[in-house]
Amino acid sequence: MAQVNKAKPNKNNEVPKDSENSEAPAEEDAEKKQLEELPPFEVVEGSRIPASSFMFQFKNVEYSSGRNKTLLCYTIERGEGQVFHGYLEDEHVSAHAEEAFFSNVLPQFLTSGPVGVTCYVSSSPCVNCAASIARCLRKNKTVKLRLVVARLFQWEESEIRGALRGISTAGCQLRMMTSADYLYVWQNFVEPDIVLNEEGESEQKSEQGAFIPWEDLEENSRYYEEKLAEILR
């Protein structure tokens, strides 16, 4: 999932707005350059996402250059109040996070009884990942899945639209992230960035406390909700 498509205008000539401007400021250029220079790696699994990575990868803007990985945060609920949290991320040359989760992680929790799964994903699944999700749901009827995504990946492509309808038909509740979802993920899956001071000691960035929504978060979310509704209609 290397890139998210640039959305075409709707009937009102509206597209998801990018408060960062089409010409990315110097600070974001540096951030993207740092991300692009990261070496390839296999799917990484953990419990907390660095705050800067979350804010960059989950941003529901049209401008998506540099957002070349998928982050997936999951909550798995089993009987007797058992709740498990975690996240996965991928790199564009490796396996996708969704396929890794539904093929390798989730099966570990399907030994007995019903399972409720909620996945918060930075971008909607590609065709292959959607196929893995649909197979998992068809095979495991006791799984109740909610897939909550920040952006729609190449939503104008007929294969992608069909793949999204396929996972919906298989039983997945698919919707876009709202500000309430962003706040939930921030509180449960994000950790402050740690930097080194002049003495080489680690310290937390003081400005990273509460989640601060970007200007067009809700407007962009509504735009994508309309597009998703059209696809699933």
User: CA-based angle 138:173:212, to the nearest 5?
Assistant: 140
| Residue of 37, 62, 91, 98 marked catalytic | 98
**DSSP 3-state percent helix, strand, coil across the chain (nearest 5):** 35, 20, 45
Catalogue the E-assigned strands of the chain: 44-46, 49-50, 71-78, 82-89, 115-121, 143-149, 173-176, 190-191, 194-196, 202-204
Residue 199: active-site member: no
Structural contact between residues 224 and 151, judged by C-beta atoms closer than 8 angstroms: yes
Residues with catalytic roles: 98
